[in-house]
Structure 1
Amino acid sequence: MRSEAIKPAGVSDRAQRIGQRVERFVRDVVAPYERDPRRDSHGPTDALVHELRGLARAADVMTPHVLEDGTHLTQRETAYVLRMSGLSPLGPLACNTAAPDEGNMFLLSKVGSPLIRERFLRPLVSGQVRSAFFMTEPAAEGGAGSDPSMMKTSCRRDGNDWIVNGRKAFITGAAGAGVGIVMAKSDDGACMFLVELPHPAIRIERLLDTIDDSMPGGHAVVAIEDLRVPQEQMLGRSGKGFAYAQLRLAPARLSHCMRWLGACTRANEIATDYANRRQAFGKPLIEHEGVGFMLADNLIDLRQAELMIDWCADVLDAGANGIAESSMAKVAVSEALMRVADRCVQVMGGTGVSGDTIVEQVFREIRAFRIYDGPTEVHKWSLAKKIQRDWRRGSAA
């Protein structure tokens, strides 16, 4: 069921035009590649990604959320376009709207110097290379995870260079990436550095076996040993890394929600088609109340997820930092989409847990989404702290 003829409230004409092109491309061109064998247990191969991106360029849907002058669509417009790209698990990779590249492009466009934008951002926007964001560290070593202040990776000044040492974990797409953003702690505080990959001082120790497999390069454990980075490749200023991470964080959380809303929309379409075609006990599955009610609940959850995304996008477009709002959206949307994906599997029975459709993969990806970019419980804890702070301010007044 195509949504091209439907213009959601608040979506601009330009976003609808771009979104329609993306939807046609993902449904007609990308979806048939979902059975392509060029993938391993850690994700699609770079050969497959390269081919898909060539098709995206030909269809004029490469990096559709970034305009020709380098500016980005508004968050509300991006929400519509990225949802269309997410209609297939391969769609964001083909259209260059996938994590971590999409969030990294946003960050570099806001903070990067002219040199960084030319040398590192331009190849990302064109889709010539992938990127990785080196922040999370091994939990067994007490490193940074949901609490970035625990960062162990260090950096120190050496003339006009910085020397970085540490270990990172769950680094999405590190294998095969061409651009890396490395986060480390100096005497001033957190710092970020841009590096070209592969680099002899950045060594992939192993690729983790995880429940999801939609990201090329998988998720890596990485050792950084005496990485020397010129001062000009520092992003912004020393000690401002946490502030830059927050700048990236809220939009990146939200764009995760956008893409996976598209995936669950498609999974629900597949489950709905199955329920209307499949006969059981003398009638279509859809006519059995237990099945029909699950699909009705899916529509409710999908609509609520869309409204939450649009609300948070409007907050960001208004100029707020959106940290609390993006936490609320991440929790509400990831939990709602988990329910949708689970019901799709249940409606389809044995077919739902097979690889015959993307429903099984979407279920696995959404389960990981409830953890990536902060588990539900961490976001709720952060919101509870905000509630307490606001209460104290109100009481003091």
Structure 2
Amino acid sequence: MEDIAGAPQCPAEAAELRDRVAAFVRDRVVPHEPVLDAGGPEAVTTLRQLQAEAKTEGLWALPLPSELGGRGLPLRSYAHVAEAEGASDHGPAALGSAPLLDALMLWCHGSPGVREQYAERLVAGDIRACYAMTEPDTPGTDPFLTATRAVPGKDDGTWRVSGRKWFISGAADADLVTVLARTDGEPADRDGLSLLLVPSDARGFRVVRELPVFGASGQWEIDLDEVVVDGDHLIGERGKALDVAGERLQLGRTLRCLRWLGQAARAFDLMRERAVTRTRSRGPLGGLQLVQRHVFESLLALRTTRPLVYEAVARLDAGLDAHVEVGLAKVAAARTLQQVADAAIQVHGAAGLGPDTALPALFRTGRAARILDGPDELHITSVARRILSTT
């Protein structure tokens, strides 16, 4: 990976873990990416084997709460590890850090029954969870228009949830789905949204279809038809979903930024290797000034983006508001991944378009990142409004 200039010094507790995780992803996860990308039974078996190896080597669930069986690595330390494991899309799942957001949400906002029933099993990798917020006919940037509704059951303390959600990562394999639903008021009301934890084996829950992103699997659409959910599966307070979601979104976006940095560094390394080793009749490819420009611009993007991401990490780790920092980091990291992957493809030529390198997947992730998890325009306007309101 490209060196980590631009980041604060890695804490001693994380330096060795970062290097071990980087080696695990490079030597164990990356060789299996074609199988993991394809999905299906073979991918499940392969992932389970990688997870068992991560547990054996003491690399499992590094950032998750120690009370639940994780390593409890604080964010300021885990950030450096997250870059290393994020070099592959499958790194977080293989190393057990993928459920961090769901585990923290259940630990902090779930009922005692929910925590006891699910939290430790989630951290152990025995069950999977996902998060369902956006809807086909509702702008994803405007949760107040959420049409999915949850109504109280008849004197039994349950909820009945109906609606449709889409672009949900991992929904096909999830055991639990956290669903944003309206429990009070009407669409466009700013109050009345709640989060409910829905078991995927409940009657009325259905996976509708897969939604490939530029041909890649992993995103799904689901339908909920009068799904009965126990009353204690309400996450947080009734009508206060956006408070819980806000915590989740800031941390989640920052973690994704770190992982995108890891993938951008991987693309940079591939480009650098190609420029040095690929020869023409007049010498190495790296001798061309236009290739040198690709290298320079890519390194500049990495070095200028990394401090923005770590500024967001520092504020979140200190418990401070980080809306501006996360917004800046999210836009910058998504752009950087797309830019560096694109440059690496250009330097590789036709080889960069085919299946022999990770570059098509890295470029796809970078392009999708500028829309998923909040489009660039949302973060740009949100940050600008906050800055202008303080002047």
TM-score (norm: length of structure 2): 0.91
Q: CA deviation at 1:324?
A: 2.5
Q: Is the 1:246–1:323 contact (alpha carbons within 8 Å) kept by the matching residues of 2? A: no
Q: CA deviation at 1:186?
A: 1.0
Q: CA deviation at 1:106?
A: 2.9
Is the counterpart of residue 19 in structure 1 residue 18 in structure 2?
Answer: yes
Alignment partners' CA distance in 2, 1:54 and 1:283: 46
In structure 1, the residue matched to 2:67 is 69
Q: CA deviation at 1:244?
A: 0.5
Aligned equivalent of 1:153, options 145, 148, 155: 148
Q: Percent identity?
A: 31
Q: CA deviation at 1:8?
A: 5.6
SS of the residue aligned with 1:61? coil
Per-residue Cα deviation, 1:172-206 (whole angstroms, up to 9, x for no partner): 11101112111111116111111222332211111
Is the counterpart of residue 185 in structure 1 residue 188 in structure 2?
Answer: no
Alignment partners' CA distance in 2, 1:314 and 1:44: 40
Is the counterpart of residue 196 in structure 1 residue 199 in structure 2?
Answer: yes
Letter in 2 for 1:378: L
Letter in 2 for 1:278: R
Letter in 2 for 1:151: T
Is the counterpart of residue 106 in structure 1 residue 104 in structure 2?
Answer: yes
In structure 2, the residue matched to 1:167 is 164
Q: Is the 1:212–1:365 contact (alpha carbons within 8 Å) kept by the matching residues of 2? A: no
Is the counterpart of residue 389 in structure 1 residue 389 in structure 2?
Answer: yes
Q: How many aligned residue pairs are there? A: 381
Alignment partners' CA distance in 2, 1:293 and 1:348: 14
Per-residue Cα deviation, 1:80-137 (whole angstroms, up to 9, x for no partner): 1111101223212211233xx3322232233223322232222221122221111110
Letter in 2 for 1:259: R
Alignment partners' CA distance in 2, 1:3 and 1:302: 10
Structure 1's 331 and 249: CA in aligned 2 closer, same or farther, altered over 3 A? same
Per-residue Cα deviation, 1:153-184 (whole angstroms, up to 9, x for no partner): 11112221111111111111110111211111
In structure 1, the residue matched to 2:79 is 79
Q: Superposition pairs for residues 198-277 of structure 1, below 5 Å?
A: 198-211=201-214, 213=216, 218-277=218-277
Structure 1's 198 and 321: CA in aligned 2 closer, same or farther, altered over 3 A? farther
Alignment partners' CA distance in 2, 1:313 and 1:234: 29
Which has the higher mean CA deviation after the structures are superposed, 79-88 or 61-70? 61-70
In structure 2, the residue matched to 1:45 is 43
Q: Superposition pairs for residues 365-384 of structure 1, below 5 Å?
A: 365-384=365-384
In structure 1, the residue matched to 2:52 is 54
Alignment partners' CA distance in 1, 2:285 and 2:40: 35
Which has the higher mean CA deviation after the structures are superposed, 246-255 or 193-202? 193-202
In structure 2, the residue matched to 1:310 is 310
In structure 1, the residue matched to 2:188 is none
Q: Superposition pairs for residues 326-337 of structure 1, below 5 Å?
A: 326-337=326-337
Per-residue Cα deviation, 1:298-351 (whole angstroms, up to 9, x for no partner): 112112222111111111112123222211110111112211111111111111
Structure 1 regions of 5+ residues with no counterpart?
392-397
In structure 1, the residue matched to 2:121 is 123
Is the counterpart of residue 345 in structure 1 residue 345 in structure 2?
Answer: yes
